[in-house]
Homo-oligomer: A and B are copies of this chain.
Amino acid sequence: MRTLAQDVPNQLDREIEISGWVHRIRELGQVNFVLLRDRSGMVQLVFNEKIDYTPETVLTVKGLVKANDKAPGGAEVHPTSVTVLSRADQNLPVQVNQDPDKYPLDVLFDNRAVSLRMPKLRAIFQLQSSLLKYLSQFMHAEGFFEMKTTKLVGTGAEGGTGLFSVDYFENKVYLAQSPQLYKQAMISTGMERVFEISHAYRAEKHDTPRHINEYVSFDVEMAFIDSEKDLMEFEARLLDYVFTQVGKNDKALLDLWGATVPAPGAMLKAPVVGHDEAKDIISKAVGKKVFEINPEGERALSDWALANNGVDLVFINDWPRKKRAWYSYPSPDGTKTLAFDLIFRGLEITSGGRRINDYAMLQDALPKFGLTEEGLGFYPSIFRYGCPPHGGFAIGVERLTQKILGLVNVKEASPFPRDRKRIAP
């Protein structure tokens, strides 16, 4: 019966069995130490003989637990038997017990199966697991249906650019940029409230710390809303739940990165500013008139929200129509849209809004964006047979992870990132 490292201090003076990886070896001569790592933490093993295990070798150890104030958790194990389950080659591509900052990102990515053993890097994906859990917990509790829609599509939600093509038997199809069209189809089937957590693909050539070509998209769509305000209110409650749970249950992971999450309730105080107002705030902050909200502007706006509302989260709504997707629901005068973004710590992590749900309005919109009904496949039929007012939003899971932990590059939040040049491991 295996004991986990974190539980060893509760087993003082008992014989236990533990298993894990040799994290660090310290040989003093008369007494030698091995720090053994498992999924729960570290435990110190004390040997009188010389250590002949290479770092990262996997051991199962039986031994007696003794109190020792200097050992992690105040206890250590004096082995009575050691079984080598898997011996590690001594030429490790990266030293697992070193700080990942010592290595360039590319080296960490090239040797992912070893670099992810570094507790600090592993923590990124332990946190991401928690995010996936809390996001879906909240959605199911709110009565949303979880769906898995096809990623092999005939056309792109954004109109055909930036798509990866797939050889599909005798046909050519594309990897979905988002489940946009399908989630709208699903709410129109009467499910009314759906969400999906799946991969999405963007064949964009730029290589920046905020872009990744394959990412995980958390998508929400809900029917019978009036405007984007219902969506912002819902997202605020969702993220407040997620931040609260992370703060409560995942503090050890945050601590490894010196990170914190917005306090419970803080998310509910995130200000909402219109696109014009946002540009004014940014112009004032950067000391010159801006005409676009670029990454620098997103950071300035986030700083403004922190200074004014005590929270580095800010919604932007009232977007000009020409800056949003063709399916965005226009304002009464047709110049703006019922769309919004959410900026978190200087980075856009969400885009959303009410969608066009009226067939005639869609027919009117398509030519404005250079699109035809025929080019959109089944999509227009959603609106011909009764489709309620609806809208939704998407959160990039890697971006959310990145901003919570303060990662410099979004690729760090993908276990096996894909960019223009990286297709392995």
A125 and B145 form a contact (CB under 8 A) = yes
Distance in Å from the Cβ of A59 to the closest Cβ of chain B? 9
Most buried by B among A58, A136, A214: A58
Whether A234 sits at the interface, judged by CB under 8 Å, is no
A113, A168, A198, A425 — most chain B CB neighbours (10 Å): A113
In the complex, what residues of B have CB within 8 A of residue A397's CB?
A: 148
Query: Which residues, 4 to 44 on A, are CB-close (under 8 Å) to B?
Result: 19-22, 37-39
The A182-233 residues at the B interface (CB cut-off 8 A) are 182, 185-186, 188-193, 197-199, 203, 205, 214, 216, 224
B contact residues around A116 at 8 Å (CB)? 185-186, 189-191
- Whether A415 contacts B149 in the complex (CB less than 8 A), given A56-B386, A89-B384, A389-B85, comes out as yes
Q: Tell me the interface secondary structure of chain A in the complex.
A: mixed
Assess the A113–B164 pair: CB atoms within 8 A.
no
Task: Give the total of A residues in contact with B, Cβ under 8 Å.
Answer: 93
Closest to A134 in B: B140
| Cα separation A418 to B175 with both chains bound (whole Å) | 13
Say yes or no for A112: interface residue by CB 8 A criterion: yes
Most chain B beta carbons < 10 A, residue from A38, A147, A203: A147
Would you call A165 and B166 a contact (CB within 8 A)?
Answer: yes
Judged by a CB distance under 8 angstroms, whether A416 is at the interface is yes
Residues in B with CB closer than 8 Å to A146 are: 128-129, 132-133
A357 at the interface (CB under 8 A from B): yes
- In the assembled complex, the CB of A188 is this many whole angstroms from the nearest CB of chain B, namely 6
Q: Is A51 part of the binding interface, using a Cβ–Cβ cutoff of 8 Å?
A: no
* A203: contacting residue among B128, B154, B169, B381, CB under 8 A: B169
- Bitwise interface map of A from 248 to 263 toward B, beta carbon under 8 Å scored 1, else 0: 0000000000000000
**A 84-124 contacts with B by CB, 8 A:** 85-89, 92-93, 111-114, 116-117, 122
Contact A122:B189 (CB < 8 A) given known A382-B113, A386-B87: yes
Residue contact B185 to A388, C-beta cutoff 8 Å: no
* A173: B residues at CB distance < 8 A: 423
Chain B residue at smallest Cβ distance from A185: B113
Q: Would A166 and B164 count as touching, CB distance under 8 A?
A: yes
State whether B423 touches A37 (Cβ < 8 A).
no
Residues of B within 8 A of A417 (CB): 150
Residues of B within 8 A of A22 (CB): 386
Kindly list chain B residues whose C-beta atoms are within 8 Å of the C-beta of A132: 146, 148
In the assembled complex, A2 has its CB within 8 A of some CB on chain B:
yes
What 20 new A-B contacts, CB under 8 Å, besides A152-B423, A168-B423? A21-B386, A39-B191, A39-B193, A58-B386, A85-B389, A86-B388, A89-B385, A92-B385, A93-B385, A113-B189, A113-B381, A113-B385, A125-B147, A148-B197, A148-B397, A148-B415, A154-B424, A168-B203, A169-B420, A199-B199
The 5 lowest CB-CB distance pairs between A and B, nearest first, are A378-B425, A88-B386, A116-B189, A56-B386, A129-B145
9 contacts between A and B (CB under 8 A): A86-B389, A116-B185, A122-B189, A126-B145, A126-B191, A128-B146, A128-B148, A151-B199, A169-B205
